[in-house]
Amino acid sequence: MSDYQIGIVNSQSFGKYFPEHLEELRTLGAVTALQLSATATVAEIGRKLAPYDCLITSVTPEFTADFFTKTPKLKLIARHGLGVNNIDLAAASKHQVYVTKVTPEVETEAVAEHAIALMLALGRLIPQADYALRNTPWEKRVNFVGIELKELTVGIIGYGHIGQRVGDILRLGFGSQILVYDPYQSARKIQKSGGQKVTLEELLSQSDVISLHANVTEANQGLLGAREFSQLKPTVRVINTARGALVDEGALVKALKAKKIAGYAADVFESEPLLQTSPLLAFENVVLTPHIGAYTAESLAGMGAKVVKDVRTVLKGEVPLEVVNKEVSQ
């Protein structure tokens, strides 16, 4: 075994179901799993991670510009997932640290199916009905009247791999009409896959269900805020399996209290892990899961294999696939 140090940071799923990924990593260097608190300071994070050549990471912690000044050995941050908004990419590039993510196709089916599952759970009141069956008389079933997805208008915000797959499932499986807001996709491409390109305002006002699948940028943080919630049908249901930062949770809570929307389902949150004091937990018409959209056996197998390959490639002095900060390899 070499002298390389490999850290697995806040990723509870890596190696748990596919131990062969851990075994392969151990042929490349010494492997340590670390769990860093959400309240850890940059100094603490830097001190604990300074010994490592490569990191395999989750959606936490935040890797700030200051962090990279404290980790001179670091060569790679391999995201065990897709999102990299917790990493200062410019700082990583400045310090010649590769930042990689898994190939989008690896997570596409898992996250798309999870989005559909949340739509069905929210629309058919499945969590509430399950709880009632376990804890209240059978006759309570009369309270659980839901909706059908058939022929509803579904607005998809972000039409990359996952957004398109969600659209396909809804269109082909349920007969839904698909509206798409994505400034980076042409109307022709969207139409070719069965959707209709519209403005954000048109999507908000016309949709019966809205599903978020966009990447987070500085421009679209809080994409759904007070103004946007005021434009929705009161019967709309909103699904977020993309990133919590796309939704202003303060405005969301106000919209739920005012009954401006019929329900909300999410796998992602503005701040993770979600605190037990979150006001979202108080609403019966809210369905929440703990960022498990990619948690299928098939997806985790592909994700694990990809990050192991990234570590191996970088330690060989080569350029890995799916580098987010391409300036490093130039």
| C-beta of residue 71 within 8 angstroms of C-beta of residue 42 | no
Q: How far apart are CA 198 and CA 206, in angstroms?
A: 10
- For 47, half-sphere exposure in the C-beta direction (CA atoms, 13 angstrom radius) is 5
| C-beta of residue 191 within 8 angstroms of C-beta of residue 197 | yes
> In b/e form, how buried is each residue of 292-304, taking b as 16+ CB within 10 angstroms?
ebbbbeebbebbb
Q: What is the mean pLDDT of residues 203-215?
A: 98
Q: 70-101: per-residue pLDDT in tens? A: 999 999 999 999 989 899 999 999 999 999 99
Phi and psi (nearest 5°) for 153?
Answer: -95, 120
At 9, which helix (H) or strand (E)? strand 5-9
Tell me whether residue 272 is one of the annotated catalytic residues.
yes
Domain at 73, CATH number: 3.40.50.720
Q: Is the same domain home to 88 and 161? A: no
Q: 269-286: per-residue pLDDT in tens? A: 999 999 999 999 999 999
Confidence band for 216, pLDDT divided at 50, 70 and 90 = very high
| C-beta of residue 157 within 8 angstroms of C-beta of residue 223 | yes
pLDDT over 70 percentage in the chain: 99
Q: Is the same domain home to 89 and 175? A: no
Q: Considering 79, 243, 249, 270, which one is annotated as catalytic?
A: 243
Q: Is the same domain home to 197 and 180? A: yes
Q: Is the same domain home to 98 and 149? A: no
Q: Is the same domain home to 226 and 325? A: no
Q: Is the same domain home to 234 and 244? A: yes
Q: Is the same domain home to 257 and 151? A: yes
Q: Is the same domain home to 118 and 257? A: yes
Q: Is the same domain home to 316 and 235? A: no
The total of structural domains in the chain comes to 2
Amino acid at site 328: V
Q: Is the same domain home to 13 and 149? A: no
Parent domain of 183: 105-288
Torsional sign, CA 5, 38, 300, 165: negative
Structure tokens at 104: 């989008």
The pLDDT of residue 67 is 98
Q: Is the same domain home to 172 and 262? A: yes
What Cα–Cα distance (Å) separates residue 66 from each residue in 41, 62, 88, 305, 320? 11, 10, 9, 30, 25
Residues with Cβ within 8 Å of 192's Cβ and at least 6 positions away in sequence, in order, are none
Q: Considering 109, 202, 272, 322, which one is annotated as catalytic?
A: 272
The pLDDT of residue 1 is 54
Q: Which residues pair with 137 in a beta bridge?
A: none
Residue 330 has pLDDT above 90, yes or no: no
Q: How far apart are CA 283 and CA 260, in angstroms?
A: 13
Chain centroid to Cα 174, Å, comes to 24
pTM: 0.93
| C-beta of residue 182 within 8 angstroms of C-beta of residue 197 | yes
Q: What is the mean pLDDT of residues 305-317?
A: 98
Q: How far apart are CA 63 and CA 14, in angstroms?
A: 19
Q: Considering 291, 312, 318, 327, which one is annotated as catalytic?
A: 291
Q: 9-56: per-residue pLDDT in tens? A: 999 999 999 999 999 999 999 999 999 998 899 999 999 999 999 999
The pLDDT of residue 2 is 77
> In b/e form, how buried is each residue of 91-121, taking b as 16+ CB within 10 angstroms?
bbbebebbbbbbeeebbbbbbbbbbbbbbbb
The helix-helix angle for 297-315 and 104-123 (nearest 10°) equals: 150
Q: What is the mean pLDDT of residues 292-319?
A: 98
Q: Is the same domain home to 184 and 231? A: yes
Nearest CA to 33 among 47, 17, 49?
A: 49
Q: Which residues pair with 212 in a beta bridge?
A: 157, 240
